[in-house]
Amino acid sequence: MAVTTVARATREGDGGRRQELAEGGDAGRRVQGVVTGLILFGPLAGTVVAIVSLFGRGVDALDLVLGVAFYMVSGHGVTAGFHRLLAHRGYVARRWTRIALCVAGSLAFEGSPLSWVALHRRHHAYTDVEGDPHSPHLHTGGRWPRLRGTMHAHAGWLLKAPEADIERWAPDLAKDRDITTISRLFPLLCVVSLGAPALLGWAISGTLAGAVGGFVWGGLVRVFVLQQATFAVNSACHLWGTRPFVTRSRDRSTNLAVLCIVSMGESWHNAHHANPRWARHGVDRRQIDSTARLIRILQRFGLASEVQWPSKDGVEAKRRRAGAATEPSPVG
Ligand SMILES: [Zn+2]
Ligand SMILES: [Zn+2]
């Protein structure tokens, strides 16, 4: 999964998407780096505040319900909306379902749908070779290249404000009015993402403490944990775990079972890289994939169609066997 910056999305909001691609420069990148730092460390600060506040007020059931509910809504917006629907066309969704998923994903503080998809498609095109925005395997210099690579893949790459070349990687979505409108509204949706749990906390409890609890747990802590889950798919799921499926030769994606619940099925990442169009990433028995479940429910209600469910033969054809050849990388 990919994450991009609010700064970049804000410039999309100014109607300067094309300009954005032409502009750049060190100063602009520095500003973007600072804003990205705020996005990354703001939720972290909120989490610290929440932990400290445990000693004073504690966390109540409403805080936890809001945290889990907003986690599921914004997280599945990213996994089912940005990732499996937009980036890989794993299924087709009815218009308002598509809009709802993309609005939900925009609440995750992971960038607008346009920039998220552009960076993610680039990751698949250059997986673990030069050009991959967040591979942990490209740091060879220094004393601890593996540690540096891991930190870069986890969150360090964001501080470098990577280019989300939308014209190149997401030209189909750049022509889509719904997606461009949602992308333009991304800064507003970030405000909603933090404001809505606070408002709900106040409305349900009728107290200011309820509003603060909703803001901290349903907003900041939830964003922080969701970001870490997303970052872990970029870092840990290219470093540790199993590789039951054949991918391109330099591709080091892995299946990491321990993350399957918090990542909503995205940590079956080796299966995903074996065939990115599969709408289910947990393709083997008992592999939890809540995103696939959501897509199945949407399909039952007629809201999703043309779902690219992995067939038994398709999965077996991709399964790694002793001595099986890998597919060549397009580059490197
Ligand atoms: Zn990957
Ligand atoms: Zn993908």
pLDDT tens readout for residues 180-207: 999 999 999 999 999 999 999 999 999 9
- Decide if 247 is inside a domain: no
> Quick one: which H or E segment has residue 125?
helix 113-125
Instruction: Please name the amino acid found at residue 77.
Output: G
Kindly report, residue by residue over 279-314, the tens digit of the pLDDT: 999 999 999 999 999 999 999 999 999 999 999 999
How remote is the CA of residue 217 from the centroid of ligand 1, in Å? 29
Answer positive or negative: Cα dihedral of 312, 315, 317, 321.
negative
Residue 314 lies in a domain: no
* Mean pLDDT to the nearest integer, 241-262: 94
Q: Distance, CA 278 to ligand 2 centroid (Å)?
A: 10
Q: What is the dihedral of CA 259, 264, 269, 275, to 10 degrees?
A: 160
Distance CA 30, CA 95 (A): 38
Q: For residue 169, is it within any domain? A: yes
What is the number of the ligand closest to the CA of 235? 1
Share of the chain above pLDDT 90, in %: 60
pLDDT tens-digit series, residues 16-52? 333 333 334 566 666 666 667 777 777 777 777 776 7
Which position has the higher pLDDT, 154 or 121?
Answer: 121
What separation in Å is there between the alpha carbon of 266 and the centre of ligand 1? 10
Q: Amino acid identity of 117?
A: V
Looking at residue 330, its pLDDT comes to 44
The total number of structural domains that make up the chain? 1
User: Would you say residue 242 lies in a domain?
Assistant: no
Residue 115 is assigned to a structural domain of this protein: yes
302 located within any domain = no
d(CA 87, CA 165): 14
Query: How far does the centroid of ligand 2 lie from the alpha carbon of residue 120, in Å?
Result: 6
Alpha carbon of 327 to ligand 1 centroid (Å): 16
Q: What are φ and ψ of residue 120, in 5° steps?
A: -70, -40
In DSSP terms, which residues pair with 305 in a beta bridge? 92
Report the run of H or E that residue 93 belongs to, with start and end: strand 92-93
Question: Which residue range forms the structural domain that includes residue 165?
Answer: 6-229
Instruction: Name the average pLDDT for the chain.
Output: 85
| Ligand number nearest to the C-alpha of 281 | 2
pLDDT of 1: 52
Instruction: Tell me the helix, strand and coil percentages in the chain, rounded to 5.
Output: 60, 5, 35
Residues with CB under 5 A from ligand 1 (ion): 253
Would you say residue 21 lies in a domain? yes
d(CA 82, CA 85): 6
Per-residue pLDDT of 126-142, as tens digits, reads 999 888 888 888 877 66
pLDDT for the residue 261 = 97
For residue 179, pLDDT over 60 is answered with yes
